[in-house]
Amino acid sequence: MSVVPARDGPITTILRRIGAVVVFLASILAQCVPALARPRLIVHQIYNAGARSLIIIMLCGLFVGMVLGLQGFDLLQRFGSEDALGVAAALGLLKELGPVVTALLFAGRAGTALTSEIGLMRTTDQLTAMQMMAVDPMQRVVAPRFIGGVFAMPLLAAIFSLVGLFGAQLVGVQMMGVDAGAFWSQMQGAVRLDDVQEGFIKSLVFGTACSLVAVYEGYHTEPTAAGVGLATTRTVVTSSVLTLLLDYILTAAFL
């Protein structure tokens, strides 16, 4: 006579999944401090998640900023206030586009790599072998990757925003003829430290969410070739949806 149903229905499946992720997060956090004893592993993961995503982040940031410059200019011109382009671009990049687009790119670029790497370890029984050698795979494999992702995301988002700002300035000032002084002075007048902080906290939360999903899906991969592919797909889908959902919640909380 238990309240837990004997068989999994659609609701219990979702509940189990959420519960498993939370338990997994707790066990990662418990292993984070011991994992710090091996800083080399973490540096390696920061390199994988951060440094190797740098080119794609900067390229996308530049184009997002340039589009923002064009669209913003066209919109603001209708009200005769092109000078506000700097404010529009800076706030848009810092608060929304920087953290969100970086998280989506991160899920596609670094998240998939994490999932397939850990998933293949699972498939080839490397994780089990570690356990037999009394090496905790959570501490040795999962925690460094998680820490690396959480650490890399805010830095990537900051670089994205900065490059995007440069792109907006390139289009707005150099091509469309917005006054450079007005572009920067209005931006500096309107952007507050809170706005930068909001973007930073957002990217930190997205980094945690995307890294957690990636390592969870990898760790719980069905040990087949198709299973690794499925887990990688699930990482991208879950990370993207979670990022946009969390973005709404965080935006509502900050306003």
Question: Does 84 help bind other proteins (rule: CB under 8 A)?
Answer: yes
Nearest alpha carbon to residue 232 among 101, 114, 127: 114
Question: Does 166 help bind other proteins (rule: CB under 8 A)?
Answer: no
The long-range contacts involving 192-195, CB below 8 angstroms and separated by at least 24 positions, are 195/90, 195/91, 195/94, 195/95
Question: Does 189 help bind other proteins (rule: CB under 8 A)?
Answer: yes
Question: Does 196 help bind other proteins (rule: CB under 8 A)?
Answer: yes
Residues 88-107 close enough to bind other proteins by CB under 8 A: 90, 94
Segment contacting other proteins by CB under 8 A, of 65-73, 108-116, 152-160, 229-237: 152-160
Torsion 230-232-235-237 (CA) sign: negative
* Burial class (CB within 10 angstroms; exposed 0-12, middle 13-18, buried 19+) of 9: exposed
Please report how close the Cβ of residue 136 comes to other proteins at its closest, in angstroms.
24
Segment contacting other proteins by CB under 8 A, of 15-23, 153-161, 226-234, 241-249: 153-161
Q: Tell which one of 15, 22, 36, 54 touches other proteins (CB under 8 A).
A: 54
**Do the beta carbons of residue 133 and residue 196 sit within 8 Å?**
no
**Do the beta carbons of residue 95 and residue 193 sit within 8 Å?**
no
Number of residues located near other proteins, criterion CB under 8 A: 42
Segment contacting other proteins by CB under 8 A, of 111-119, 128-136, 175-183, 210-218: 175-183
What tokens were used for 59? 């390229």
Segment contacting other proteins by CB under 8 A, of 20-28, 186-194, 225-233, 245-253: 186-194
- Please, which residue, 180 or 225, has the CB nearer to other proteins? 180
Please report how close the Cβ of residue 157 comes to other proteins at its closest, in angstroms.
9
Question: Does 159 help bind other proteins (rule: CB under 8 A)?
Answer: yes
**Do the beta carbons of residue 160 and residue 206 sit within 8 Å?**
no
- Please, which residue, 49 or 231, has the CB nearer to other proteins? 49
Question: Does 181 help bind other proteins (rule: CB under 8 A)?
Answer: yes
Question: Does 79 help bind other proteins (rule: CB under 8 A)?
Answer: yes
The residue ranges that bind other proteins (CB under 8 A) are 43-44, 46-47, 50-52, 54, 76, 79-84, 90, 94, 152, 154-156, 158-159, 161-162, 179-182, 184-189, 191-193, 195-196, 199-200
